Structure 1
Amino acid sequence: MTSAFPVGHTDRDALRAEVSRRLQQEAIDGSDAGRDDVVDRLITDVLRERDLAELAARRPPLSAQVEQSLRQSLRDSFLGLGGLQPYIDDPDVENIDVNGANTVFVSYAGELPVQVPPIASSDDELIDMLQTLARRSGAQERRFDPGMPRLDLQLPDGSRLFATMAVTERVCVSIRRHRFPRLSLSDLAELGTISREMVDLFGALVAARCNIVVSGGMDTGKTTMARALCREFEPWERIITIEDPYELGLHRDTKAHPNVVAMQPREPNIEGQGGIDMTTLVRWATRMRPDHVVVGEVRGGEVIPLLNAFNQGTDGSLTTIHASSTRDAWMKIASYARQAPEQLPFDVTFQLIGGGVDIVVQVGKSTDGRRFVTGIREVVDADATQVRSNEIYRPGPHRNAVLTGRFSDTMVDRLFEVGYDPQSLDVRRPA
């Protein structure tokens, strides 16, 4: 007698196909209610039948260890991320890039990307896995097919997943991990991201209710830096976050931040109705009595209501932006304001920046993957032609921030009011 489930590399694929067939026959409704129990039952049934077939063919059944591994692999393929799940569970993994089911690269902390084994038996299985994940995650748009060829959602651990199909030759997936969801400024000092001096300085800047822009390139640790600054907010303060998608995760840390409203844009439905953009949400946030408005990343027209919030009394707010230097940060802001529907001229934007932004923090990343602050700039004021500023820290010989300047008298007074003496910074010692 021949086993219905051939042993070897294809064994798992045959078992998965059989579970999938039976799952379709169960006709579970779109809510996925009870899906976990049904999947577990079907996997148990199929594995038992496989063992009976093997015994009938006078072959030994699977060992307990192999069966448990196979059961977990099958369960992950229907309820988790399949072959990606082990990398999601690995705390040292930072990024995962998939260029088709059998071309997968993983970046570990402080190391270059390495290619790893296939994470699915085919692109079709990968698509099925992503569709199931979208349905279970509560994503606003649950489709992932040629008619809706992209998927953007947050995984249960807070990681960000973006996938494409049809517009790319194969199914592509990019996953950005957040290895440190609850780091404090002291933790960043332990990691070497900031100096010990900066721990007190940043704490004082937050206490003085400075409006802060965290600037840097892709994957330089802007979100981690912003999250650490937000941990300096008082627990009783009301925080409104606007992100696309959720990455800061302040609303999930209810012990540190019990009073958080997390807002996320909504795309239009298939009829083109119901969309809500970042600009609208920033305007709404300013009407919700916030102590702090935090925009996860500014990259468009939302910069105008954010600058208005900075200038109209919502002090102590914060955002991040893609820029190559502290000075480049406000040029990016001005460019976004110019491209917005209001088309603000540069002179108006410069004055909004000069009146609203207090501090720009620049973060960078070395070739070996180490992330660190490279510069800190105080915005003093502005006129129609330029933003005037003081460069407090600038990149040193190894790009680490080196103290080179001093704060304005106005900022010194603000820092003194919260019990911090800027003269405690040692201008002779690298940060």
Structure 2
Amino acid sequence: MAERRGKNGHPVNATSPSTTLLGSLLADPQATAHRPGQAGESTRLDSSLPAQSSAAGPADVDAAASLPHVLPVPVETIGVLRQQVANDVDTIKKERRARGETLDAAALEQVVRAQIRVRVAEWAQEWSIEHTPLTGEQISVLRGELFNRFFLAGSLQQVLERPGVEDILIDGPWMFIDVQGQGRQRMRSPFTADEQALEWVNQMAAMSGHGERLLSYSTGKVDFDLPDGSRVAATLLTEPNLVISIRRHLLEKAGLDDLVTWGSIDTLLQAFLRAAVRAGLSIVIAGDMATGKTTLMRALGREVPVKERLATLEGEPELRLNYDPYGEHAHTIAFRSREGNGERDASGKVTLGELVDTSMRYRASRVMVGEVRGTEAVAMLKAMMMGGAGSMCTLHAKDPESVIDRLMVPLTEAGLNDSAAYRLIAAAVDLIVYVDRIDEIDLGGSEHRFVTHVWETAGISERGAVSLNHLFQPNEDIGEERAVPTTSAMNSRRAKRLARNGFPTNWRAQRPRGTWAALTLVGDGTVAS
């Protein structure tokens, strides 16, 4: 029989079982569930692998990539066993409902574990008739993979749990991992073929509630969330391999205090931005890719007074301000745009612009748009101008000088002429905050993300453009690349609103150089203080 090969060239033999790369990539299901003390589940196959520590390093990735122990289990078997367990659990749920009982999260986990033991024991007994029996350790790993596939991210779960992992991209046989503060690392993919990767994508998509739009060659791409909140984008619109991108939200709980600790803002900017949010000033946060725009806006969202209601509008859920189990922050309703049902099928599509109008019907006092990219900019700015005081959005701009031009693009695409677009920006936006990044990892240094500019809008200039008043900016005279106060006088109305919310009017005289800690840069050998 001819050997069948997958799209990326990996052999997929229909008669001889392909092996499943589990081994050191699999986490102990007790650890991944964060429920210590439950014995009898999975353990690591290689005791020489380093335990999880406070920082991931190349040794961790190399150990995971080596996969010294490979289970001789057909890929199809994992899927079949998982489906059997799912069917068992569904039956148990129906029986419980018929008796008027329900399964909470803890009880459901116990049921799943029990059914996994039963199904794996039955399968292992049949497998041993014609094959080498699995060891006790291998059976534990198989149980762990089934548990992870049922609740978590399957074979990728332990990679996701490595401390500091920000992004994972799988491109055919290779996996690229971006670790915070360490740059990019390359290793073998945990999937042996595109077919296996495709099965994982669709299984995870179905579990996330997006099963009505799975990945196929007719669909081309799919986006969904993993149980831990990580964002997955997978596509077959690439050649020759299926590509999977996973983005983690490491800084999901970060507040302004954390940003001060990390050097993204100083204590003066912290006090200024906190007062600006509480005073209801509308803010645009701009910057290039990976500069921390979303992290800053999420921190500002936590400063919205508890008495208010906040609506977040995103294509990909990154702000996650609605996850507030203790009610410590403003009530947040998380709206999410929706793509059509296929590449050429727009039915069911909901745009961010439509969501701006929708959110107002739920009595949201403020609106936060994850990233303004298209014609939703018009709806967003109108919401800022017509009652959404204190609303915020992020904007991709490669340098500080291009912020207004970058905001003009979606406005003109929406049909506004230059004059109308400038007037809309000037009327709707109070503050623009620019964040930047210096990456010196390849030079032996660190990655620095920080605010460099804060402007307030000051009406229309004589040339008909938006006039900006520089409140904070870098100061070359003292060698400071981060935002420090300027001598420009702030609009008196806004200054009074800030003062009523705890920010003094004489702030420039108190801290003319800001309160930044020293910044050491490797590239030019200078030290700013």
TM interval, shorter chain, is: 0.7 to 0.9
Question: Which of 253, 256, 265 is residue 337 of structure 2 equivalent to?
Answer: 265
CA shift at 1:422, angstroms? 3.8
In structure 2, the CA distance between the partners of 1:238 and 1:42, relative to structure 1 (3 Å rule), is closer
Q: Hey, what's the Cα distance between the residues in 1 that align with 2:190 and 2:484?
A: 44
Per the alignment, residue 135 of structure 2 pairs with: 62
CA shift at 1:124, angstroms? 0.9
The reply on whether 1:230 has 2:292 as its aligned counterpart is no
The answer on whether the counterparts of 2:85 and 2:119 sit within 8 Å (CA) in structure 1 is: no
In structure 2, the CA distance between the partners of 1:419 and 1:400, relative to structure 1 (3 Å rule), is closer
The reply on whether 1:330 has 2:412 as its aligned counterpart is no
TM-score (norm 2): 0.72
CA shift at 1:115, angstroms? 1.1
Per the alignment, residue 58 of structure 2 pairs with: none
Pairing of 1:349-360 with structure 2 (within 5 A) = 349-360=421-432
Mean CA deviation greater in 166-175 or 300-309: 166-175
Q: Hey, what's the Cα distance between the residues in 2 that align with 1:399 and 1:192?
A: 12
Find the residue that maps to 1:303 and give its secondary structure.
Answer: helix
Q: Hey, what's the Cα distance between the residues in 2 that align with 1:33 and 1:150?
A: 35
Per the alignment, residue 495 of structure 2 pairs with: 412
The code of the aligned residue for 1:17 comes to E
The reply on whether 1:17 has 2:76 as its aligned counterpart is yes
Cα deviations by residue, 1:88-113 (Å, 9 ceiling, x for unpaired)? 2234111111111x300111111111
Find the residue that maps to 1:401 and give its secondary structure.
Answer: strand
Q: Hey, what's the Cα distance between the residues in 1 that align with 2:161 and 2:202?
A: 20
Per the alignment, residue 388 of structure 1 pairs with: 467
In structure 2, the CA distance between the partners of 1:315 and 1:258, relative to structure 1 (3 Å rule), is closer
Q: Hey, what's the Cα distance between the residues in 2 that align with 1:275 and 1:179?
A: 30
In structure 2, the CA distance between the partners of 1:24 and 1:224, relative to structure 1 (3 Å rule), is closer
Per the alignment, residue 271 of structure 2 pairs with: 200
Question: Which of 263, 286, 293 is residue 367 of structure 2 equivalent to?
Answer: 293
Find the residue that maps to 1:366 and give its secondary structure.
Answer: strand
The answer on whether the counterparts of 2:151 and 2:227 sit within 8 Å (CA) in structure 1 is: no
In structure 2, the CA distance between the partners of 1:429 and 1:166, relative to structure 1 (3 Å rule), is closer
CA shift at 1:428, angstroms? 3.1
Question: How many matched pairs?
Answer: 422
CA shift at 1:220, angstroms? 1.3
Q: Hey, what's the Cα distance between the residues in 2 that align with 1:27 and 1:78?
A: 8
In structure 2, the CA distance between the partners of 1:33 and 1:414, relative to structure 1 (3 Å rule), is farther
The reply on whether 1:346 has 2:418 as its aligned counterpart is yes
Per the alignment, residue 512 of structure 2 pairs with: 427
Q: Hey, what's the Cα distance between the residues in 1 that align with 2:300 and 2:366?
A: 12
CA shift at 1:295, angstroms? 0.9
Cα deviations by residue, 1:146-188 (Å, 9 ceiling, x for unpaired)? 0111111222222221111144320111112111112111111
CA shift at 1:429, angstroms? 4.2
CA shift at 1:79, angstroms? 4.7
Per the alignment, residue 155 of structure 2 pairs with: 83
Cα deviations by residue, 1:340-395 (Å, 9 ceiling, x for unpaired)? 2xx10111111111111011111122213332112211112125621111122224
Structure 1: stretches of 5+ with no match in the other structure = none
Find the residue that maps to 1:12 and give its secondary structure.
Answer: coil
In structure 2, the CA distance between the partners of 1:114 and 1:43, relative to structure 1 (3 Å rule), is farther
Find the residue that maps to 2:506 and give its secondary structure.
Answer: helix
The answer on whether the counterparts of 1:51 and 1:62 sit within 8 Å (CA) in structure 2 is: no
Q: Hey, what's the Cα distance between the residues in 2 that align with 1:400 and 1:112?
A: 23
Q: Hey, what's the Cα distance between the residues in 1 that align with 2:153 and 2:513?
A: 51
The code of the aligned residue for 2:144 comes to Q
Pairing of 1:28-107 with structure 2 (within 5 A) = 28=87, 41=115, 44-46=118-120, 49-50=123-124, 62-64=135-137, 66-77=138-149, 79-100=151-172, 102-107=173-178
The answer on whether the counterparts of 2:112 and 2:147 sit within 8 Å (CA) in structure 1 is: no
Provide the identity percentage.
29
Per the alignment, residue 127 of structure 1 pairs with: 198
In structure 2, the CA distance between the partners of 1:157 and 1:80, relative to structure 1 (3 Å rule), is closer
Mean CA deviation greater in 161-170 or 213-222: 161-170
In structure 2, the CA distance between the partners of 1:420 and 1:398, relative to structure 1 (3 Å rule), is closer
In structure 2, the CA distance between the partners of 1:362 and 1:44, relative to structure 1 (3 Å rule), is farther
In structure 2, the CA distance between the partners of 1:132 and 1:32, relative to structure 1 (3 Å rule), is farther
Question: Which of 281, 284, 287 is residue 355 of structure 2 equivalent to?
Answer: 281
Mean CA deviation greater in 378-387 or 105-114: 378-387
Question: Which of 364, 389, 402 is residue 315 of structure 1 equivalent to?
Answer: 389
Q: Hey, what's the Cα distance between the residues in 2 that align with 1:427 and 1:380?
A: 22
Q: Hey, what's the Cα distance between the residues in 1 that align with 2:401 and 2:380?
A: 19
In structure 2, the CA distance between the partners of 1:172 and 1:40, relative to structure 1 (3 Å rule), is farther
In structure 2, the CA distance between the partners of 1:208 and 1:245, relative to structure 1 (3 Å rule), is same
The answer on whether the counterparts of 1:338 and 1:345 sit within 8 Å (CA) in structure 2 is: yes
Q: Hey, what's the Cα distance between the residues in 2 that align with 1:41 and 1:170?
A: 35
The answer on whether the counterparts of 1:110 and 1:369 sit within 8 Å (CA) in structure 2 is: yes
In structure 2, the CA distance between the partners of 1:191 and 1:126, relative to structure 1 (3 Å rule), is same
Q: Hey, what's the Cα distance between the residues in 2 that align with 1:27 and 1:181?
A: 31
Question: Which of 140, 146, 157 is residue 228 of structure 2 equivalent to?
Answer: 157
